[in-house]
A and B are shown apart, each in its own frame.
Chain A
Amino acid sequence: MAPAIQARGLRKAFGKSIALDGVDLTVEPGRILGLIGPNGAGKSTALNAILGLTQCEGDLKVLGLDSWAQRDRLMTDVCFIADVAVLPRWMRVVQALDYVQGVHPRFDRAKAERLLDRTTIKRTSRVRELSKGMVTQLHLALVMAIDARLLVLDEPTLGLDLIFRKAFYDSLLNDYFDGDRTIVVSTHQVEEIQHILTDVVFIDRGRIVLDTSMEAFETRYAELAAAPEHLEFARALKPIHERQLFGRSYLIFDGADRERLAALGEVRTPSLADLFVATMTPASAESGRAR
């Protein structure tokens, strides 16, 4: 099957600042990709390019279509939540349902109604009367009722409390993802989405610094809580990152032999968040600094 997203040499500059600096990315159908990076790393630009909202240099095919030139066709198969709270504030919930049903050939009204029935959202409410969390629930209900092949979520839970964030991703997995659809999600809350991802991409200063499946991630990276007496020896194995926590040293290794590390202390798979910090900060600047 053709890749859901195939990008080669994507480049985009806004004036002097370079948002994307030669991005290559392939996303196969049926994957859930997390796009993770610091503010201004180019996440939103990359997602906007995929959605045909921004024109980029380079070659970009989404579901086999040129996402900029063939955007109108693409939008039947792609859906996105580009930002929190972009639903028009004057709109009533029932109007939102009517409208999406009216314009989208793949909208399942009954499914949207079922999803909304689980919330406390009233059909007659205007969006401006809903809390931020309810607006997100409404948007998600609309989007999940659309039978799209690619769903793009750009910081979909920004500013929501933990309960809403958790429910959001649970709902996405249970009620939407079916193994054929592709989901791309960008977020700051790395820990919360780690368990739902099949693939992860770190992006920094417009470049992809890590692109791996979660299975490969788990075998490739190891975190060692080094026993004090083995610390110097462990450091000699060239960890990519070291931090101190409660007087213990935690070292992250890329591609190290786990059995060998096990002799030096406790070994586990690092969290995405820790690896993210390790990848984004040069080892020399960070090593030895206590947090």
Chain B
Amino acid sequence: MSASTIDTAPTPKVRPFYWSVRRELWENRGVYFAPLGVAAVVLAGFLYSSSNLPRLVARAVAGDQKAILALHIPYAAGAGAAYVISLAVAVFYCLGALHGERRDRSLLFWKSLPVSDLQTVLSKASVAIVIQPLVAVAVALGLQLIMLAWGTAVLAINGVDPALLWAHLKLPFIWVMLPYGVVINALWTAPVFAWLLLVSAWAKRMTFVWAVAPWLALSLFELLAFHTHHVWSFLDERIFGGMAEAYTIGGLGKAPVIQLSQADPLRFLANPGLWTGLVIAAALLAGCAWLRRTRDPI
């Protein structure tokens, strides 16, 4: 096995981390199967409707806006669905990540090996915050390439110039904006996933309820007591703000970004909310490592 060649690597901390991430992916195959499954469904729908494609392209060339939109939909829906399902998988992955190992007592096996609690927590966090978005992007791009190839072939067989399709799809724009938005959202929502991991390290059961209920209770209390909704706005901003930041003009959540010049990564980097969020995420992950250290199996 090639792993044996890494044995003498001078960075002994990287190796346990690499294997910890791998073992997370062995255990949680939903990380890639869920977006792949969704992509397969979208692809099936696209293939089923592809006999319409030559007519649709003809209408689009004639300037029919509905037809132009219809050409786009499979590409956008495929990418969107793969990403949304990935976020859902990441949420439930985090809620189980430090809870399941205490529940089935496998914690005692993991702890018998020279992998620190912090390394373990970081490997789990990186699956949710780094690996899962990367998988979503890779699946979305792969899906779009297959759809593009198929569409091109269908048009060519029917004697329609495929370039007409390509001109309408604006795929280069999508291929820049998709990873861009995914990176921004991952950075922005990092404290959300860190919070889910913390609950998973702390709660004895019903991690989902413990993750959500305190925030709902706080929002409700604030609404009833003071007739304000700061907590609710805070949650809304932290959960959906990343998407608004990436995909709407000025990050205001109103007009969507439709060309590259409207994207503004520097404004995002200058947003103090990004940095406070990352600091809070780091603190929460340190808390996870401490909890994993001190808590017994359930």
Q: Which A positions have Cβ atoms within 8 angstroms of B?
A: 51, 53, 55, 72, 75-76, 79-83, 85-92, 95, 98-105, 139, 143
Chain A CB within 8 A of B111 CB: yes
From B3, B18, B108, residue with most partner A Cβ within 10 Å: B108
Contact check, A86 vs B109: say whether CB atoms are below 8 A apart.
yes
Q: Are B3 and A86 neighbours in the complex by a CB distance under 8 Å? A: no
Interface of B is mostly: helix
Known A-B contacts A79-B112, A88-B27; A103 and B105 likewise in contact (beta carbons under 8 Å): no
Tell me whether B116 is interfacial, beta carbon within 8 Å: yes
Q: Which residues of B contact A104 (CB under 8 A)?
A: 113-114
Output the residue of B7, B20, B109 with the most chain A CB within 10 A: B109
Cβ contact of B111, chosen from A53, A95, A100, cutoff 8 A: A53
Q: B residues touching A (Cβ–Cβ < 8 Å)?
A: 1, 3, 7, 12, 15-16, 18-20, 22-23, 26-27, 101, 104-109, 111-116, 294
User: B116 contacts which chain A residues (CB < 8 A)?
Assistant: 72
Chain A residues within an 8 Å CB radius of B111 = 51, 53, 75, 82
The reply to whether B26 and A91 contact each other, CB–CB distance below 8 Å, is yes
The residue that A98 contacts in the complex, of B3, B16, B107, B294, with Cβ under 8 A, is: B3
Quick one: closest A residue to B111, CB to CB?
Answer: A53
Could you list 15 examples of A-B contacts with CB < 8 Å? A53-B111, A75-B113, A83-B105, A86-B107, A87-B109, A88-B109, A91-B23, A98-B3, A98-B19, A99-B22, A99-B23, A102-B19, A103-B115, A104-B113, A104-B114
Greatest chain B CB density within 10 A among A53, A76, A85, A143 is at A53
Task: Tell me the bound Cα distance from A95 to B22 in angstroms.
Answer: 10
Given A75-B114, A102-B22, A82-B108 contact (CB < 8 Å): yes
Looking at the assembled complex, report how far the CB atom of B295 sits from the nearest CB atom of chain A, in whole angstroms. 10
A186 to B185, CA, bound (A): 51
Q: Which 9 A-B pairs have the closest CB atoms?
A: A102-B19, A88-B106, A82-B108, A75-B114, A103-B16, A72-B116, A86-B108, A76-B114, A86-B109
